[in-house]
Amino acid sequence: MWWTVSSGAFLGWTLGFNDSANVVGTAVAVRIIRTTLAGIIMFVFATLGATLLGHYGFTTLGNLGDQTPLTAFSIALAAAIAVRWINRYGIPVSTSQAVVGAIVGMGIAMGHVNLSPLTKIFLAWIFTPIGGALFAYILFFVLRPITRPFRKSIFSWDNMIWWGMVIVASYGAFSLGANNVANVTGVFVKAGVLTPFWGAFIGGLFIGLGGLSVAIFRGASGKLFNTVGGGIVKLDSYTALVAVLAESITLLIFARIGVPVSATQALVGAVIGVGLAEAPHRINLGVLRNVITSWFTSPLFAGVLSFLMGMTIKVMGW
C-alpha cells in the first residue's frame, strides 16, 4: 500500500516548510542570507541529516502503538492538517507534538495505545526549550570575544556573519532532518510500509522539499520568518547566529538520544536565551504566549482529528 505514504510526503513537506522558519528564518529576517539560498540549504542538508542519522528516532515513536498502513496514513494526514492550519496565522508550530497527539488519538480510537513512552517524550519537550535557552545564553558570551576582531571593519564583520550563518544554518538543517524525520515516516516504518532506510530517505527528501518551497512561497514563509526573527525578541546578525547555533546543538543531541523533539521549541528557547543575555526587557511576551499556546493546540487538534479518522476506520471495518 505505497499510496498511504502520500500523507507522509505531505507531512514531510509541511514540516520542512514550517521548520525552515526555525532553521533559516532568523537569517532571512535579519537580511543575512536570501530566501533562495535558505531554501537550497534546507533541501540539501535536511535530506542528508535524515538519511544519515534519522533512524534513531523510529523506535521511540513506534513504541507508542502498532500501526497498519491505513492508520499510518491517517496519523500523518491529521498531523499535517493541524500544522498547516496553525501556520496560516504565521505561527511556527511543533510538528513533533502534532504527530504524537495524532498517534495517541489513533491509538485511543483503535483501542491499543502504549502511553509509557510518553514520559520520555514529555521530558524531552520540557528540556528542549530549556536546553536551547541555556546553550544560547552561554554561547552569547563565549562567542562574543571570538567574533570581536571581525568588528574592526564592516566588510570583515559582514563577511564573517554571512559565512557563519551559512555554516550554522546548514548544521541546523542537518540536525532538523536527523531529529524530525521520525515524525514524518516513523508510523510507516512501524506499519511495515517502509524500511528504516527508505523511511529516513523519503522523509528527509520531502522535509528538504518543504524547506526549498520557502523560496517559492515567500509571502507565506515570510510571516513565519518574522515571528522567529523579530517577533519574540528583536534579533540582530550576531544574536541570530547564536540562536540558530544553540537550536542546532539542542536538536542534534536529542537526535542521538533517539527522541524527536520540536525545532520550534528549541529555537524559541534559544531566542529567549539571547534575549535574557542581552536585554530581558525586549522579550515580547504577547508573541511568545501565542507560540506557546500553539504547542498545546497542535497535539490536541491533531489528536482529535486522528481519533475521528480512527473511529471511521473502525466502524467501516477497513
Count of domains in the chain? 1
More confident residue, 252 or 221: 252
**Torsion of the alpha carbons at 199, 202, 204 and 210, rounded to the nearest 10:** -140
- 132 pLDDT higher than 80: yes
Alpha carbon distance 26, 6 (integer Å): 30
* Average pLDDT of the residues of the chain: 85
Domain enclosing residue 157, as ranges:
2-313
Residue 207 located in a structural domain: yes
The mean pLDDT of 132-136, rounded to a whole number, is 94
Residue 221 located in a structural domain: yes
Predicted confidence (pLDDT) per residue in 10-34, tens digit: 999 988 988 887 788 778 877 888 8
Residue 233 located in a structural domain: yes
Tell me the H-state helices in the chain: 5-23, 25-29, 35-53, 58-62, 69-87, 95-110, 118-147, 154-190, 196-212, 218-226, 237-257, 263-278, 285-316
Residue 241 located in a structural domain: yes
Which among 200, 194, 262 has a CA at the least distance from the CA of 47? Answer: 200
Residue 147 located in a structural domain: yes
Q: What is the pLDDT of residue 230?
A: 56
Q: Is the pTM of this model over 0.75?
A: yes
Residue 318 located in a structural domain: no
Q: What is the pLDDT of residue 223?
A: 54
Residue identified by cell 532538523 is 176
Contact 268, 132 (CB under 8 A): yes
Contact 74, 311 (CB under 8 A): no
Residue 253 located in a structural domain: yes
The mean pLDDT of 81-100, rounded to a whole number, is 80
CA geometry: angle 19, 159, 249, nearest 5 deg? 35
Residue 12 located in a structural domain: yes
Alpha carbon distance 17, 208 (integer Å): 9
